[in-house]
A and B are shown apart, each in its own frame.
Chain A
Amino acid sequence: MKSLIKKTRPADPQPVCCAPPPDAKVAQCCAKVSKTVAGCHD
């Protein structure tokens, strides 16, 4: 088993009420850089 992960996630996430600011790396259907597209639906 060979890991492909180079970064580690925080081991002990804080409760939602005091969570750190989101880093907005959600994999949207269309990436942030192309969010103006008419192709979001694909």
Chain B
Amino acid sequence: MELSKHNILTRVHGSERWLLANLLSGEADVLDPEVGARLAKGEYDDPTELAAKGYLVDPDDEWRRYRKAYLDFLETRNSDEVQLFYVPSYACNFGCSYCFQDGYAPPPGTDGEAVLAAFFAYVDATFADRRKYVTLFGGEPLLPSASARRLVDGIVDGTARRGLDLAVVTNGYHLASYVSTLQRARIREVQVTLDGTEELHDQRRYLKGGGRTFQRVVEGVDAALAAGFSVNLRTVLDRDNVESFGALAHFAIDRGWTRAPGFKTQIGRNYELHHCQSERARLYTRVSLFEDLQRLVLADPAILEFHRPAFSISKFLFERGELPDPLFDACPACKTEWAFDYTGRIYPCTANVGKSGEAIGTFFPEVKLDATLVEPWEERDVLAIEACRGCAVQLACGGGCGAVAKNEHGVVGAPDCRPVKELLSLGCSLYGREALESE
């Protein structure tokens, strides 16, 4: 018997106690200081309890359980819903200070309606036996021009005719004027971004050429919620706006958004995806962002009514009283996610849609998928990535993002490591206080 390769042991932030978790056995425990400190050195007194919980294992038996869990993961994913992004244009009316698409120089479009028809024909033929939904993406898809409205009409009607859900990712500026159009669709959710209260949001997310946007976006969210849509409010955080996160939370609470049945939130970390940002000092690492979020929540717990940060698997563990299934692959590209744009090109995911050199095929004017480009994405998981194989947190991290890994290492089959232990340490101190304080 030996200690499991999948034990995640971390000292809880601000405490002498330790957290021990194992995603393969599904167990998680709080350890007393001396027990945790000894275990960190590979020492223990009570092998029976450790073995009963899968922290101490027969390596051959653990390998069999790992393999079984991997097969279960593949089977689940093979029957999972596929998300199909469609980009009708990369044009945008915003000039956000951190845009990751601002360096794109997309070619002019051809016949937008013919390309859209080809997209639906491709979906019908290629994903006939898969559960699926379409997400309208950009650029900004909800622009006021007649041509933009024609394309949105086409996507709304095309998805509705097929009984497919439609999600929309928009900056929200023209959302209110599109609500009646979107009501013809089966709207899964509308994602809108607000980066803070009015002053800060308008400093970061302004119209091209200048101009405030906050009030129009808020009106868009109001209209979407009034129409019964699910609204996923995203906030992109860095050091410039993090301190206003609490004020944004209170704004949303006071406006009644958090009581709306379909309202939810997410945080996006501002980071360098494809190119360097001019103001790098404002960017967070994952750990430093969550350190600051934890500090803000402790000072103002009402923030949790607006958003409950995940802290890796912490939120899941403490809200549900169980661990998530092992994550053998965090990257959905070319498995449960594909992206298509108005030029007729196919891309692995939203992180690289429209980026020069990242297309993996075309659906217009001819259907052609380059298997040699698709395979590295399809094959990417923690077993395929050599650096992940010996990592204790591999089943929580899942190897991270393939697009980021490719940017960093030049190949998709490389790791984009997540600071699982550090986030779990912070999350346990925030969500697990009851367990830490009890005997």
Using a CB–CB cutoff of 8 Å, the interface residues on chain A facing chain B are: 1-7, 9, 13, 16, 19, 22, 24-31, 33-42
Residues in A with CB closer than 8 Å to B75 are 16, 19, 22
| B interface secondary structure, majority | mixed
Q: A5-B27, A24-B80, A37-B350 are in contact. List 17 more A-B contacts (CB 8 A).
A: A1-B20, A2-B435, A3-B28, A4-B317, A9-B26, A9-B322, A26-B73, A27-B313, A30-B266, A33-B266, A35-B83, A36-B189, A36-B191, A39-B266, A40-B337, A41-B349, A41-B404
Are A37 and B313 in contact, CB atoms less than 8 angstroms apart? no
Residues in A with CB closer than 8 Å to B438 are 2
Are B27 and A3 in contact, CB atoms less than 8 angstroms apart? yes
Are A36 and B349 in contact, CB atoms less than 8 angstroms apart? no
* B68 sits at the interface (CB 8 A): yes
A29-B271 in contact given A5-B26, A9-B26 (Cβ < 8 Å): no
Binds A, one of B122-130, B198-206, B290-298, B395-403: B395-403
Are A2 and B268 in contact, CB atoms less than 8 angstroms apart? no
Q: Complex formed: what's the CA distance from A9 to B26 in Å?
A: 8
Q: Complex formed: what's the CA distance from A28 to B82 in Å?
A: 13
Are A7 and B321 in contact, CB atoms less than 8 angstroms apart? yes
Are A4 and B30 in contact, CB atoms less than 8 angstroms apart? yes
A sample of 19 inter-chain contacts (CB < 8 A) reads A1-B49, A2-B29, A3-B53, A4-B318, A4-B321, A5-B28, A6-B320, A6-B321, A16-B75, A22-B72, A29-B332, A34-B191, A34-B232, A35-B83, A37-B266, A38-B350, A38-B351, A40-B332, A42-B269
Q: Complex formed: what's the CA distance from A3 to B26 in Å?
A: 11
On chain B, which size bracket covers the interface?
A: 35 or more
Residues in B with CB closer than 8 Å to A13 are 68
Are A5 and B316 in contact, CB atoms less than 8 angstroms apart? no
Are B401 and A40 in contact, CB atoms less than 8 angstroms apart? yes
Are B73 and A27 in contact, CB atoms less than 8 angstroms apart? no
Q: Which residue of B lies closest to A16 (CB)?
A: B71
Residues in A with CB closer than 8 Å to B404 are 41-42
Binds A, one of B106-114, B323-331, B370-378: B323-331
Q: Which residue of B lies closest to A33 (CB)?
A: B264
Q: Complex formed: what's the CA distance from A2 to B135 in Å?
A: 43
Residues in B with CB closer than 8 Å to A42 are 268-269, 271, 401, 404
Are A29 and B268 in contact, CB atoms less than 8 angstroms apart? no
Q: Complex formed: what's the CA distance from A16 to B135 in Å?
A: 32
Are B403 and A41 in contact, CB atoms less than 8 angstroms apart? yes
A41-B79 in contact given A2-B29, A4-B28, A29-B400 (Cβ < 8 Å): no
Are B322 and A5 in contact, CB atoms less than 8 angstroms apart? yes
A36-B29 in contact given A6-B321, A19-B72 (Cβ < 8 Å): no
Within 8 A of A (CB), among B4-21: 19-20
Q: Complex formed: what's the CA distance from A38 to B137 in Å?
A: 9
Q: Which residue of B lies closest to A39 (CB)?
A: B268
Contact check: which of A19, A29, A35, A38 meets B398 at CB < 8 Å?
A29
Provide the B175-191 mask, 1 if CB < 8 A to any CB of A, else 0: 00000000000001101
